[in-house]
Chains A and B, each alone.
Chain A
Amino acid sequence: MARLRLFLRRLNTAERTRLLRSSRGLIIAAWLILPIHVQAAWSGDPTPSSSWFVDMNRFLKSAHGSLTCERCHVEMTARDKVHPNREDPTAMKKVVVRSYDYKRCASCHPEAYKRFLQGEHAKELAKEKQAPPPEGKEPPPEKLAPTCGDCHSSHYAQSKRSRVELGTQMIETCGKCHKAQEASYLKDIHGRMGVFLEKKASAYCTDCHGAHTCESLKDKNKALEACRRCHKDATIQFAGILIHAGQQDISKKDPEKQAHAAIIGTIKGFAQTGTIILLLFFALQTFIWILRELHRRLRGR
């Protein structure tokens, strides 16, 4: 530092300006790049939740932070090959959530794993394993059946989160694949209260569909069971209330609900048109009225 100061003091004015000018680009570049690093440090999500690289700072704060790596990644050799296999050029390009053996989760979370196996997502996964998509023509990740890792971040998921925090995160997680259902849920009273206004007693995705079973609730009796967890006096017709009220949310195999959604859509259309026409008429009439009286007053009558 002292040497640098001495060096700068020895320079004359012309030399000093030349040095500044030549280093100006560097200074500007530093100012442009700096915010990116600051942002990365602040936002706290520089690495995706499941990848070959683990952000140890975030891992240690997570629910699994007290576990050793070997607890989940049991053996570092598989089929006599060291993991990861350096000879295999695709080793690091494999999608982790597809290649990890999620049976290992069951050693700590047996109940959750059992429910997952009973549920719709596991059925889809089994179908996909029987008839895997052709090589190179794999659909985008949101079209594939989910494994544990698709919904849960094994390295960064935090424990002891509040019900509202979990629910809000759930909307994002489920919404990655079920986009239309996310949108219609957020329009429904449960979504508006639970997600935006933080009402704890509201129902989030898994409160009705089950955390790991992920049922579709097309069957009215099953839906009623879900309703009754909060609405004790609900009857079978109560289960006919559309929660995901958009027509694209409802399966084509359910003509009754489709018809109901169509009726709701028609009534909505009429109501909105009527509202707009009435408001436009009265707004225009009031505007002309004010102009007319102004005109009359200016004429002195």
Chain B
Amino acid sequence: MRDQTVEQVIYWRFNVLHRVVHLVVMFAFIGVGLTGFSMAFSSVGLAQTFVWLLGGIDSVRYFHRFCAVILYLCVVTEILWGLYYRFVLRGNLLGPNSICFRIRDLRFFREHMGYLLGQSEGPPRFERFTWWEKLDYWTLFLGMHSMALTGVFLWFPEFFSRFFPGYFVNIAQVLHFDEAILAVLYKFFIHTAVRHLRPEVYPGDWVIFTGKVTKETMMRAHPGEWALLNAHQQGSATRDQ
């Protein structure tokens, strides 16, 4: 967990699996978004140029599905990691270090809104994962499932119309498009702004690529986790004595 360097103490926030998964998700998401929107807004000249660049509509459709499968595989990887974390590492999925939502996050959210509106001087004492990090994670995690569901409806309409009425394919198309708009605008603008444009992290928070945080960042951004970590260490220190 801790790695002593000459200048400062480094804390490992993300292991190599999560960093690679984030990188793959990032590129696959951009790919799936570009190809998807070039098909959805195909009457726009820019979309037609992009499709031409990729070698025609058939390869765009192939690329869209390829990226989508990669994205879903990343979700599967995360599920497997969750099982590994729970049953092999004996981690607590409902504990303070978990990415899962807790009741406490509601309080954090309310306090954070209060801070934004000037009711308190500073942000609440966040634990390992803040509410917006959990939201980013779970919206993608759950969103990939609903996108995959509507996506396979559009991929294999002949198969699914055996079990469902035909207009379900139309509904799938509507939901697939709307959720794509939501996801792409959220990730491309809001997620990027929160991770790059906020004065706290400007010009960029590289922790998801490097996995490391300094002691200062830890104390500033995750005081709850910092306190917990120190309490544990002191606890173990006293026990050792």
Binding site for B on A (CB under 8 A): 186, 189, 192-193, 196-199, 231-235, 237-242, 245, 260-261, 263-264, 267-268, 271-272, 274-275, 278-279, 282-283, 285-286, 288-290, 292-294, 296-297, 301
Contact = CB atoms under 8 A, between A and B. Distances in A.
Interface string B105-128: 000000001011110011000000
Interface string B136-162: 000000000000000000100111011
Which range holds the interface residue count of chain B?
Answer: 35 or more
B42 to A, nearest CB: 4
B186 A186 contact: no
A238 B156 CA distance: 11
A292 B167 contact: no
Contact of A267 (B118, B158, B174): B174
Contacts of B173: 189
A241 B162 CA distance: 12
Given A263-B171, A264-B174, A197 B165 contact: no
Contact of A279 (B47, B121, B186, B194): B186
B58 interface: yes
B204 interface: no
Contact of B161 (A186, A240, A260, A263): A240
Contact of A193 (B57, B167, B181): B57
A285 B114 CA distance: 12
Given A234-B158, A275-B182, A199 B58 contact: yes
A268 B174 contact: yes
B160 to A, nearest CB: 9
A237 B51 contact: no
B58 A196 contact: no
Interface in B1-43: 39-40, 42-43
B76 to A, nearest CB: 26
A235 B198 contact: no
B186 A237 contact: no
A267 B117 contact: no
B171 A241 contact: no
A278 B162 CA distance: 35
A260 B167 contact: yes
Contacts of B167: 240-242, 260-261, 263-264
A288 B117 contact: yes
B200 A275 contact: no
A237 B197 CA distance: 50
Contacts of B193: 286, 290
Contact of B171 (A234, A267, A289, A294): A267
A279 B181 CA distance: 10
Given A189-B173, A197-B39, A242 B200 contact: no
Smallest CB-CB A-B distances: 6 pairs: A240-B166, A196-B42, A260-B167, A271-B178, A241-B166, A238-B161
A288 B40 CA distance: 32
A260 B158 CA distance: 18
Nearest to A292: B116
B57 A239 contact: no
Interface string B37-78: 001101100011001000011101000000000000000000
Contacts of B175: 267, 271
A289 B122 CA distance: 12
5 contacts: A197-B51, A199-B56, A238-B161, A268-B178, A290-B198
A240 B157 CA distance: 11
A151 B181 CA distance: 39
B136 to A, nearest CB: 11
Nearest to A294: B199
A278 B185 CA distance: 11
Nearest to A227: B158
A233 B158 contact: yes
A288 B116 contact: yes
Contact of A192 (B43, B159, B166, B179): B43
B2 to A, nearest CB: 29
A190 to B, nearest CB: 11
Nearest to B115: A292
Contacts of A275: 178-179, 181-182
